[in-house]
Chain A
Amino acid sequence: MKSIEEIKSAIEAAIPGAGVELIPNPSPSGQHSLRLAPADAVEVARFLRDDAELAFDFLSNVTGVDWPGKEITEKVKVTRTVTRIVDGVEQQVEETVEEPRKRVEPGCLEVVYHLFSMAKKHGPIVLRMRTVNRTDQVELPSVTPIWRSAEFQEREIFDLYGVVFTGHPDLRRLLMWKGFKDHPMRRDYVDPDDFEYEPTAHDSVLARAAAHKAAIGGVAQKGTGAGE
């Protein structure tokens, strides 16, 4: 099998201007991946399947990743002019101070595809795609027209992460029921409060059990304080 760099240049040779970015994996497994620009993804996928040498005819796995927005606090040096009394005289003095500043790095949703070749007996190659954000621009192109095995897995990702696959033939919820709101695999999903007790409650579980007790109220209990 070609190396990931060779595959990347093969894609770029076949489809000029295709947005392909190499994401290295520094771990011992060294499973590097290619991040595709959503606009070119279907074309790239078709090339990977149809190219005689690569012949990635089997899509084994599609999975989703949620990257929530991060609030980053950094210290920025700021120079400002302050009025001070020096030797009994009011003076304008330049002063440099470190000021903490917060910025929010926007999150996104990512979809990861693992491809193998049955014909050439090689693989896997890992493809990734990212949405613009997590709220309103969550469309990604579907690769179901290229690999039929993506159909249910993309439905599952739509269900659990909320990625909307354009070009998918039948995009409905797969695991959760019709009428379910939200996407339970997102990091900020809040579980329904149907939590009574856990025999060995501790840490966050104990806190959750205590919160539930407070919410329903009136159940005689000893020692459910979260601080125990």
Chain B
Amino acid sequence: MVDQQLKIELGKQGVLVTTIEELYNWGRRSSIWPMQFGLACCAIEMIATTMARYDLARFGAEVFRPSPRQADLMIISGTVTKKMAPQVVRLYNQMAEPRYVIAMGACAISGGPFKQGYNVLKGIDRYIPVDVHIPGCPPRPEALIQAFMTLQKKIDAQPLTGEGRPRHLDAAAQGEFPVPEQGEHDLEPTSNKGVWPVPVVIR
């Protein structure tokens, strides 16, 4: 590691000193292309975030891709019904690594106001790994930008080797997530135990 003070001093002399890791992560975090899909009213806030007033382009994420093959980020923007959940997981599987997920809003993180319903998935993190959860109903565009910045910090902090490296650099990492089947009353299985252990609640 280069000493931070020395780095600044060298910078003043016109010499750029960096590491591969820093450069690599800078490149990754500065052009996160989200996938273009919306599930419910949170999608309206997501659209607002990309427009001129909030301008997600400042974070290098203005290019919403209509194909999962070209996308780096999946924003789960809204209620995930049990009818839609298999398709969401399938789309996630079709994305190329490195890929990230933001669960936006109360419904995407827990089922929200529809939690007690018969047809709403109680959080998409039951089937796919979620990097950033945003509460809110719906979250304001600022909250989505905050989630973006959190994700950028997370990418920045990822080492390229050893523990905690991104999945695409880890040969042993799970690449495909099982798509749940639609059963007679519920999805089967009801959650992916490898991704989402049943939470322990202490009251």
A interface residues, Cβ below 8 angstroms from B: 175-182, 184, 189, 191-192, 194-198, 205, 216, 219-224
Q: How far is the CA of A179 from the CA of B198 in the complex (A)?
A: 27
| Of listed B82, B116, B184, B201, residue having the most chain A CB within 10 A | B201
Question: Given A177-B182, A179-B182, A181-B184, does the pair A194, B200 have CB atoms closer than 8 Å?
Answer: no
**In the complex, A135→B184 CA distance in Å?**
19
**Which residues of chain A are within 8 angstroms of B187 by Cβ–Cβ distance?**
194
Name the A residues within 8 Å of B83 (CB-CB).
175-177
* B185 A192 Cβ-Cβ under 8 A: yes
Chain B residues near A178: list those with CB within 8 A: 182
Can you list 7 A-B pairs with a CB-CB distance of less than 8 A? A177-B83, A181-B185, A189-B118, A192-B190, A198-B115, A219-B198, A221-B203
Of B122, B182, B184, B201, the residue contacting A194 (CB under 8 A) is B122
Taking the complex as formed, is B119 at the interface, i.e. its CB lies under 8 A from any CB of chain A? yes
Q: How large is the interface on B (under 10, 10 to 19, 20 to 34, 35 or more residues)?
A: 20 to 34
Residues of A within 8 A of B116 (CB): 198, 205
Task: List the A side residues contacting B62 at CB < 8 Å.
Answer: none
Closest to B197 in A: A219
Bound together, the chains give a CA A215 to CA B190 distance in angstroms of: 14
With contacts A175-B119, A192-B118 known, is A180 near B182, CB below 8 A?
yes
The count of A-to-B residue pairs whose CB atoms sit within 8 angstroms is 52
A194 touches B203 (CB 8 A): no
Contact yes or no, A223 B203, CB < 8 A: yes
| Cβ contacts B174-203/A at 8 Å (1 or 0 each) | 000000001111110010000000111111
CA gap between A219 and B116 in the complex, in Å = 21
A222 touches B202 (CB 8 A): yes
Q: A176-B83, A177-B182, A180-B184 are in contact. Are A197 and B119 (CB under 8 A)?
A: no
Chain A nearest Cβ from B197, distance in angstroms: 10
Q: How far apart are B87's CB and chain A's nearest CB, in angstroms? A: 11
Among candidates B82, B182, B185, B200, residue contacting A182 with C-beta atoms closer than 8 Å:
B185
Who on chain A is nearest to B186 by CB?
Answer: A192
CA–CA, A112 and B119, complex, Å: 24
Q: Select which of A179, A180, A196, A205 is within 8 A of B122 by beta carbon.
A: A196
Partner of A184, one of B115, B119, B203: B119
Nearest CB on A from B37, distance (A): 19
CA distance A182 to B82 in the complex (A): 15
Given contacts A175-B83, A181-B185, contact A219 B200 (CB under 8 A): yes
> Which residue on A lies nearest to B201, using beta carbons?
A197
Q: Could you tell me the distance in whole angstroms from the C-beta of B88 to the nearest C-beta in chain A?
A: 14
- CB proximity of B125 to chain A, nearest CB, Å: 12
Identity of the chain A residue whose Cβ is nearest the Cβ of B123 in the assembled complex: A196
Contact A221/B201 with A175-B119, A184-B119, A205-B116 known, Cβ cut-off 8 Å: yes
